[in-house]
Amino acid sequence: MALSDLLYPDNPKRRQELIHLHQELLDCMSTNVRATNELAGVLNEHLGCTITHIQMRASSTVKENCDIIIQAMNEIQHQVQKIDSDMKEKLEPVLYQKLYDIKEPELEKIAIAQKVFSIVLGEATSTAGMVAIKLLSSNFITLTVSKLVSLLAQIGASVLGGISITILSLGIEMILHAILGAVERNQLLAAVRSYEKHLSEFKAASEKYQRAIREVSSLVRQQVQ
């Protein structure tokens, strides 16, 4: 038995917690990658965007994979901001304001957006207008994506960022060595708490992000049926 285990008998339990939390973090990141690609596909197909699909890199660290997701989310933010700019440029101020007026009927907003996309893209279906309105009139970009990007940046900058995402295929001691690095074994509790804090916030923000994307995708599927 390691000396640290004699001095800190809860260490074996904390090791298992740490491994479990790491797997949860990777699962959550992977789900966000799939959701991001789903939204990118909708934007590319219906709004004329050219957002590249992403994938996690098994040979890279948590931080490097966070950066991949952040880059894709930043591109989505940029595209939605461009849509807003197009609306503002092509529409009369009164019509532009209607897009953000919660009292205005949804169908009228979609019709307004569709006219703009018909000009910008040469042609556009009602699906394009619907997707645009869903993204512009909700807090999807201003809150959901921005929050998730911030949390991904925090995770990447933390002690978790330098960990390879493939360590789970290794033995327990190798996993612990990779996770803790320069962190002393008697700091396992601090490492566990760090994971718990980041993961709790990350999972909550991810669920909102994924739910918002499912709503957009569901509307698109209903529209094309």
Residue extents of the structural domains in the chain? 12-18+37-46+60-222
At 72 the pLDDT is 94
Residue 79 exposed, middle or buried by CB count within 10 Å (0-12, 13-18, 19+): buried
Give the Cβ contact number of residue 42 at 10 Å. Answer: 21
What per-residue confidence (pLDDT) applies to 4?
A: 41
Let me know how many helices (H) and strands (E) the chain has, helices first.
9, 0
pLDDT at 224: 63
Fill in the DSSP letter of residue 158: S
The tens digit of pLDDT for each residue in 54-99 reads 999 988 888 899 999 999 999 999 998 998 898 888 889 998 898 8
Q: pTM of the full predicted structure?
A: 0.81
Measured CA to CA, the distance from residue 66 to residue 133 in angstroms comes to 29
Contacts 24+ apart (CB under 8 A), 176-182: 176/15, 176/18, 179/18, 179/19, 179/22
CA distance 104 to 167: 52
Type of residue numbered 115: K
pLDDT at 52: 94
Longest CA–CA separation in the chain, Å? 74
- Cα distances from 215 to residues 107, 108, 139, 147, in angstroms, run 17, 20, 13, 19
Q: For residue 73, which amino acid is it?
A: M
Token pair for 66: 């966070």
Whether residue 108 has pLDDT greater than 80: yes
Phi, psi (rounded to 5 degrees) for 184: -65, 150
pLDDT in tens, 136-172: 877 676 678 888 899 888 888 876 677 676 654 445 5
